[in-house]
Structure 1
């Protein structure tokens, strides 16, 4: 289901994510405006429902809006989403899902607003597609009420061109810090990449679920590849903004660090697939960086 770490739930293996998302075909959306079923009851949100426990309310109504009738069934379905949420695909994804799986215990159901669903779908559906799963029909946004009706609205402000850089995006790419083996191996990795850079990353905030990162202006490009000099800094900053999962994995909970990153260009974007922590003990990496200017890659 995903292992607990210091920053929450960590990503499950891709095959496990696919397996869990396969469960989501079960269940259907209850009709809007329908009266509460006779069997309706208020029950505590259990601690085992990690997705919704501690969200700000203590009781939920069953059957829920996906017509799960028991706590066990709702909890099982909620756990199916944990690997996706570990991708940090949208800050309001948890609110959307819990409004359906563990609706707050009121006199009537309150559905999520259509705009909330659409915002989460636009960010999270591409991640599901990485593993071959479409956005499920039970979360068909057209079924939810328009914003002028009584509904649960988004917490995160609607994205605009000016605010787009403020919300990191998840990606299909998993990158982790590499252990530098030998100098030759590091140099061969540089040769195989479109670009290589030595950069300093710092965390802008430490309290938000979705951390944001900034790039020090002193960027040392070891290999430009297809990048123009004027594009290097904005492209690297774009990577920080768009690939929250990758950057989070590299940072490993630290507030700032210097790294050597390399990767490829894909549709005008940088895709980092290797990263090394720059420190004195990493002698193979330091030697590779010093030798790089004189190194000739094998064709």
Structure 2
């Protein structure tokens, strides 16, 4: 029996479609979306670093979020674009493990960082008098560092437990990228430990942050409803709208998928969720924060004005 417990040197990804014309169309679409993601998030990082008026806790976390989005989309989309042009869509064992590690690390860090951003909003709305003291530079750095370290630690454990699974020669993954649940389904040994690790991981980096975000917004809404002035209430809700939109997109689909690791019939849904996190969310985040944030648009105007003046 032990002789059959073999590990493969590479995997074959089935992708979204085997039709060459569909793949060509998807290549154009995904490449455009990937470039928009890089430009949008890169612009946010550029503006926050360059404009001292944006050196505030909210934008510090937003800069971290933009870095995460660039890393998350770059962990899988370039390989996916290459596969659209190739007949044989293979990925080596090492590259597969690397892709899983960075995807889990960046995704987990983003969930935790969104919880930190919710705490920042809670402090600003519910305790404005102590906001500067509570959300000082050192506190912000600690919150961001904890989010990154927990994301990396969680990814290290889950990747190690996943990549140890033998597949008995099976190497075809019904997915667009290397992904934990797809590899677990391919295993030819008992995967109880993997299910426990996936569930524990979901609780630590997904369920707990989601509960903290919900608790923060419960307090925020209670305080906002006590504001008598309609304009003040609208402004307060507007401040939270961008973050709440991103939180809804990020946590919603993840909760549906990752809290059900035992399912074996969700392969199509898994592909959609993987694409949603790898491409759609990172592409939309800059638009959501920029279009609804007057300070960001003002910073962009100032940068463009300085650039045009320097050319004269």
TM bucket, shorter chain? under 0.3
Greater share of helix residues, 1 or 2?
Answer: 2
Larger radius of gyration: 1
RCO greater where, 1 or 2, for CA within 8 Å and sep 6 or more?
A: 2
TM-score (norm 2): 0.25
Greater share of strand residues, 1 or 2?
Answer: 1
